[in-house]
Structure formats: structure tokens, C-alpha cells
Chains A and B, each alone.
Chain A
Amino acid sequence: MQMVKNSLIAFIIAWLGILVFMPKQELYYKLEEELAKHEIKLNEEKMNEGVFSLNLKQVTVYFKGINVATIEEVNLFTLLFYSSIEVQSLTMDDSLKAMVPQEIERAVAKHSVLSSLEVSVDASGSFGSIVGNIDLNERKVHLDFNESKNIEMLKPQLKKDEKGWYYETSF
């Protein structure tokens, strides 16, 4: 019993140690490097490292050198067995308004070890709200548009079933 107790303490301490000592900024720089390979660059004004999270403020998103969006706040959070990325107040560039919704108030992508091959997505904005998932095994994205509002510009990319409009793609 004592052995189990000690192991459990060691496990919790190791888990906490991994999270606390994790070089979050440097891991984010690595993520930036990977994104840059796909010509996506992120410029952030402020970066705050927390115990379990990394918080970015005033992030400008560039794709192929073009300023496509600005994000008020991005929060990257991990407990190893559960991770999430939360985006607050994403505004697309004005010139893209004919192609994509202008505002995303909040978008959250969550991953849990309980369903390790799936990332759940939840977003709300000028288009209404989206709930969906990314299937990492089948490499598919499925997003359901609930309370769809201004999605006229997206409709050519959307499909419709009895539940309403949805977006599906594979990668």
C-alpha cells in the first residue's frame, strides 16, 4: 500500500514537474516554425507563460505574407491528458469579407486522451455557431452550423442535410 502511495506521489510530482518546467515559449516558437513551412506566420504583441498555459495577446496572422486576421487573445492550455486552444475575438481582414465570415467571437479546440484521435471544435461569431470535430484517424473535418446567420459567402463550400448546413473536408 505504501508502495502504491509513493508511486502515486512520484507520478503526480513528475506530472506537475513536466508541466511546470515545460519550456512553453520555446515550444510555441517550434509551432511557429512548423506553421511557417506552410507560409503561415503569427506576430504576437504579448506572451505570458502560466503554469499550465501560454497566453498570447494581439496576434496578427499572415498567410503568404498577407495580413489575413487579427486575434485579440489566444490561450494554449495543457494538462497533457487534456489540451485546448482558445481563440477570442478573431477579426478577418476587411478585404476577405466576401469570402469568409468577418468575426469569430470565440473558438475552442479541445483534445482529450479519452478520445485521443479526435479534436472537438466549438465556435461562435457573425456566422452563428459551429460545433464539430476533427477526426485525426480518418483525417476529416466535420463542422455543423447551428443557428447559421450570415453564411451566404460560405454556402458554396457547405452541404445541407436535415439538420442544416455543414462543412466537411479531408486533409
Chain B
Amino acid sequence: MKHLFKPQAMKGLWSLLILLLVIKFIWFLVEILWLPTSGMEHAEEKSVKALYYRVKLSPNKAPAPTVEKKPVKVVGSIKDIILLAIYNASDVTVITVEYKKKTKVLSKGDEINGFMLEGAGSNFATFSKKSKTYKVDLFKSKKDAKSTSSIKKVPVTSPSKPVAVSKEAAGEIVDAGDHKIIDKSLFDHYAENMDDIYENIGITEVKEGKDLKGFRISFVRKGSPFAKLGVRKDDMIKSINGQEINSYNAAFNMYKNIQNAKNLTLIIIRGKEEMELEYEIN
């Protein structure tokens, strides 16, 4: 103790304390002058996503008069139904058929031409009518379509319509007049392979100063499925299924959840015109 209070030892101790104080003061100055006092928290967008429904309204049309339904005898053949595409999951079966040059989407239990959809396999669908079962093979042209009674394997090279079987980006986009039908396998392929998207379509950000305004299509590869979607170079993407695409997060969230979509409504701005493009996925 006596030794500690030696003037020389005290001087050394004071020197060290002053040194520490100087260090603390320098750090304090650095903190005040250059360092931020709080961190940069990213506020995640928690906006409530609007419910999305596609509704077709027929304006200026008087309500249809109620007509007493009379049993109509359905006269039709299974041969009139052309099976275009099948979506078969454990809980749902949906098929796309062409009937009288019109494309229709049917789920299990739906009727067309008097035939009720019973189920589907990997390349066929089964219908029933008057307790008889009929089988329609995938992508058979009308004249070759056979019923169950004459099961015949569908040749792989046959169709005039698209085939969606391989692991590649197979599948087609069918123009159904007011909307386009995208083959589910084709859709899934692009939903899982982002790189393949960028090979076929270019999407660049549009900024106003530092703020992101939206996304513009910079190119669409000719002959690619994207070219058949009806989008063109310089189209500005405004929204998809009612969700405004005005941030990377919005775009990425859309990409993440797009696999569950059954239909898509894309709103684009072409020149000064706003356009709505509709797609059905099955």
C-alpha cells in the first residue's frame, strides 16, 4: 500500500488513466461526429393483398328471362371432345378440352356434351354417360379419338396440338380468343427455373431518381413461349393479379407465389395505353 502511493507510481497510474480518458474521448467524438446512433431496419411490406377474382360482366344486358327448364336430350358423341391438357393432382383433376372449336376447362364431375368427367390418367381422361365409361386420349385429333371400347395407344408424334411431357420447357400457349391458356407444365417449368426466364425475356427496372417506378420488358425472344403471351418490348408491367409490381419485393413475392395461380391477369402499359392480358393455367 505504501509502495502504491509512491509519487512515481501515482504519476504512472494517473498517466494511464488520462490515456484511457483520451481514448474514450476520441471514441466519443467519433461516435458523435461520424457514427449513426440507430440501425437501418428494413420494414417488411405487410400490405394486405387484395382478393383476386376474375369476373366477367355483360354490361347493358337485361336479365335473361327465366325459362322453365325442359329436359334436353343430349345428342353428342365422345368423338366431339378433344382432350388438350391434363392437370392431375392428388386432390384435384382438371382437364382442358376442345368442343365445337371452343376450349373449355373441366374439373371432376363437370359435364360436356352430356359426358361427365370421371377422372384422368397421365395421358387420358375418362368420361361417363348413362353408366358407360369412355376414354379420351390426350392430344388425339378429332377423327382418331376412340372410346374405351377400342383402346389404342396414342402415338407420341401424332398431335397437331401441343404435347407437354418432357422435362424440358415443353407445353404450349393456346390462344382462346379473349384469353390465353398456358400449359401447366410449361408454367411450372418457368416458375422453378428463373434462369430460363431471363434467356427468353428481359425485364429491367425503371427508376425515377432513386425510387423504383416499375419494371419494363427490354426484350422478348422470338419464338419463345413468352412471345406468345402477347407481351412486347418496352411494355411496362403495372400489376399481376391485382398486385402492383412497383418494388423488387412485390415482384419476387409474385414469383414465389405464382405456382399456385390458376389464372393470371397482367396489366401492362404499352405506349400510353393500359392493356389487360388474361391467362388461364391448366
**Could you tell me which A residues sit within 8 Å of B by CB distance?**
6, 9-10, 13-14, 17-18, 21-23, 26-30, 32-33, 36, 41-44, 60, 62, 64-67, 94-95, 98-99
Contact = CB atoms under 8 A, between A and B. Distances in A.
Given A10-B19, A14-B23, A41-B40, 18 more contacts: A9-B16, A13-B20, A14-B19, A17-B24, A18-B27, A21-B20, A23-B31, A26-B31, A27-B35, A30-B34, A32-B39, A33-B36, A42-B40, A65-B45, A65-B247, A65-B249, A99-B194, A99-B195
B27 A22 contact: yes
Q: Kindly list the 10 A-B residue pairs having the minimum CB-CB distance in the complex, ordered from nearest.
A: A65-B249, A26-B35, A64-B248, A41-B42, A17-B23, A29-B36, A66-B252, A95-B256, A62-B42, A32-B40
Interface string B46-69: 000000000000000000000000
A26 B19 contact: no
Given A10-B15, A67-B44, A23 B27 contact: yes
B245 to A, nearest CB: 12
B255 interface: yes
Q: Interface size class for chain B?
A: 20 to 34
A7 to B, nearest CB: 11
A65 B31 contact: no
A95 B255 contact: yes
Interface string B181-194: 00000000000111
B23 A30 contact: no
Contact of A17 (B19, B39, B41, B45): B19
B37 interface: yes
